[in-house]
Amino acid sequence: MTPKLRTRAIEALNDFVIETPSWGFADTGTRFGKFFQDAAAIDLGDKLSDAGHVHALTGCCPTVAVHVLWDFKAGEDPKAVAKLARKHGVKIGSINPNLFQDQDYKWGSFGHNDPAVRQRALDHCLDSVAIMQATGSEYLSLWFADGTNYPGQGSIRARKGYFEETLKALHQKIGPKQTMLVEYKPFEPAFYATDVADWGMAYLLSKKAGPRAKVLVDTGHHYAAQNIEQIVAWLLDEDMLGGFHFNDRRYADDDLTLGSIDPYQVFRIFHEIHFFAADRGKAPKIAYMIDQSHNEKPKIEATIQTVVMAQELFAKAALVDHDALRRAQAKNNVVDAELELKKAFFTDVSPALAAWRKANQLAADPLAEHRRSGYQKTAAADRRARRKALGLTQGGGYA
Ligand SMILES: [Mn+2]
């Protein structure tokens, strides 16, 4: 790697932070079952401790996404939660309301045909906005399980209208420095018509809600053949890309660790962001977040693996020679254009990563350092004992 490329990769790493999800440290799994781990986090204190440990090792995960229902107890002071996060060396990041677990939401939340349920869902989101204000969080991250399972079950247009109306009402309460992210997903749990099923719907709803609403792209929330980087490029061009939920998948919303199946796709997404930034002369403001579920892998190891992979692919994508790419594109030189991407993808960025970690007083290999630290063993012993003392059966949280 030339000194010029090394500098470019290091500059990209300086700009890159990624948020870890609190639920990624707890016992999570599939809807068929969970395999419990002794070291899995029991409460928010454990989750913030684990997130702080990951940040201390990787140096690029300063914030933690929290789920209101799973992480905040009724009557709990959010300021105390923010303080606890600070104690562990992290900050509270995106606030995720929960609009899918309560029995009231059987027929939907923002898309429910009963105005009382819509109001209840809105009130829960307004409580979440209050948590944002108290914790200093910048992002309200919305995902809706709403939809219908059978043809004819609901009026697709009426449900669209309920969403427009309720999102607009919520947007009015979002502060000037806060952003409301609207996530989409084609199917599951709804299997006929999900109310916010694709990026076009999320885009339209966000546009109608107001200027502080943006689209959130969860990489696992697409049909298998969909071109995600094209969606990303369009959203960037429209200034409507608010953030990402990163994960990988082979079939549907598998929530596997990032880059475990298709690292080149993640590279292509990052390339579109770097290319856009080069054309505009300014990096876009994007909330990079992880949304994964680790049923088999140890939670912290899986998180570190994802973070390191994200850094590596972000750095690789920064190496694309944009001038050479533009020249090849101008001449319709398909082969050279593609090779510009491939060249960057296959560049070994480990010297740049090593230099960046050294400059930031971090261990050369965060995963190895984690294994050396003994954190997992201590956490497992402590949490096993606490579970026993509390009479807890393992589980909870994510289905
Ligand atoms: Mn997600």
Query: Is the pLDDT confidence value at 235 over 80?
Result: yes
The pLDDT value recorded for residue 394 is 60
Q: How far apart are CA 208 and CA 240, in angstroms?
A: 12
245 CA to centre of ligand 1 in angstroms: 5
Query: Is the pLDDT confidence value at 146 over 60?
Result: yes
- At 90-99, the pLDDT tens digits run 999 999 999 9
Query: Is the pLDDT confidence value at 397 over 70?
Result: no
> What's the rounded mean pLDDT across residues 257-266?
98
Query: Is the pLDDT confidence value at 125 over 90?
Result: yes
274 CA to centre of ligand 1 in angstroms: 23
The answer to whether the Cα torsion of 104, 108, 110, 116 is positive or negative is negative
116 CA to centre of ligand 1 in angstroms: 27
Show the tokens assigned to 240: 């409507």
398 CA to centre of ligand 1 in angstroms: 12
Average pLDDT of the chain, as a whole number: 96
Residue with tokens 């369009």: 234
Measured between its terminal Cα atoms, the distance across the chain in Å is 44
The pLDDT value recorded for residue 395 is 53
Query: Is the pLDDT confidence value at 398 over 80?
Result: no
pLDDT-based confidence at residue 342 (cuts at 50, 70, 90): very high
On whether the CB atoms of residues 229 and 219 are closer than 8 A, the answer is: no
The pLDDT value recorded for residue 205 is 98
Question: 139 has which bridge partners?
Answer: 179
23 CA to centre of ligand 1 in angstroms: 11
359 CA to centre of ligand 1 in angstroms: 33
Percentage of the residues of the chain whose pLDDT score is greater than 90: 92
Show the tokens assigned to 184: 């989409």
328 CA to centre of ligand 1 in angstroms: 36
> What's the rounded mean pLDDT across residues 133-161?
97
Report how far apart, in Å, the C-alpha atoms of 124 and of each of 68, 69, 365 are. 9, 10, 41
291 CA to centre of ligand 1 in angstroms: 5
- Domain residue spans in the chain? 3-390
Query: Which range has the worst mean pLDDT, 6-15, 25-34, 59-68?
Result: 25-34
Q: How far apart are CA 44 and CA 55, in angstroms?
A: 16
Higher per-residue pLDDT: 70 or 362: 362
Query: Is the pLDDT confidence value at 137 over 90?
Result: yes
Query: Is the pLDDT confidence value at 348 over 80?
Result: yes
* Cβ count within 10 A of residue 389: 8
221 CA to centre of ligand 1 in angstroms: 8
The length of the chain, given as a count of residues: 399
258 CA to centre of ligand 1 in angstroms: 13
Query: Which range has the worst mean pLDDT, 30-44, 229-243, 307-321?
Result: 30-44
The pLDDT value recorded for residue 65 is 98
* Torsions phi, psi for 46 (to 5 deg): -65, -45
The pLDDT value recorded for residue 294 is 87
The pLDDT value recorded for residue 399 is 41
Q: How far apart are CA 359 and CA 140, in angstroms?
A: 33
> What's the rounded mean pLDDT across residues 123-141?
96
The pLDDT value recorded for residue 154 is 98
32 CA to centre of ligand 1 in angstroms: 19
Q: How far apart are CA 216 and CA 186, in angstroms?
A: 14
> What's the rounded mean pLDDT across residues 140-162?
98
> What's the rounded mean pLDDT across residues 221-242?
97
DSSP collapsed to 3 states, the chain: CCHHHHHHHHHHHHHCCCEEEHHHHECCCECCECCCCCCCECCHHHHHHHHHHHHHHHCCCCEEEEEHHHHCCCCCCHHHHHHHHHHCCCEEEEEECCCCCCHHHHHCCCCCCCHHHHHHHHHHHHHHHHHHHHHCCCEEEECCCCEECCCCCCCHHHHHHHHHHHHHHHHCCCCCCCEEEEECCCCCCCCCEECCCCHHHHHHHHHHHCCCEEEEEECCCCCCCCCHHHHHHHHHHCCCEEEEEECECCCCCCCECCCCCCHHHHHHHHHHHHHHHHHHCCCCCCEEEECCCCCCCCHHHHHHHHHHHHHHHHHHHCCCCHHHHHHHHHCCCHHHHHHHHHHHHCCCCHHHHHHHHHHCCCCCCHHHHHHHHCHHHHHHHHHHHHHHHHCCCCCCCCC
Could you tell me the maximum CA-CA distance found in the chain, to the nearest angstrom? 70
The pLDDT value recorded for residue 32 is 80
pTM of the predicted structure, to 2 decimals = 0.96
- At 352-394, the pLDDT tens digits run 999 999 999 999 999 999 999 999 999 999 999 999 999 887 6
Q: How far apart are CA 310 and CA 267, in angstroms?
A: 9
The CATH superfamily assigned to 3-390 is: Divalent-metal-dependent TIM barrel enzymes (3.20.20.150)
186 CA to centre of ligand 1 in angstroms: 12
C-alpha angle 376-381-384 in degrees, rounded to nearest 5: 115
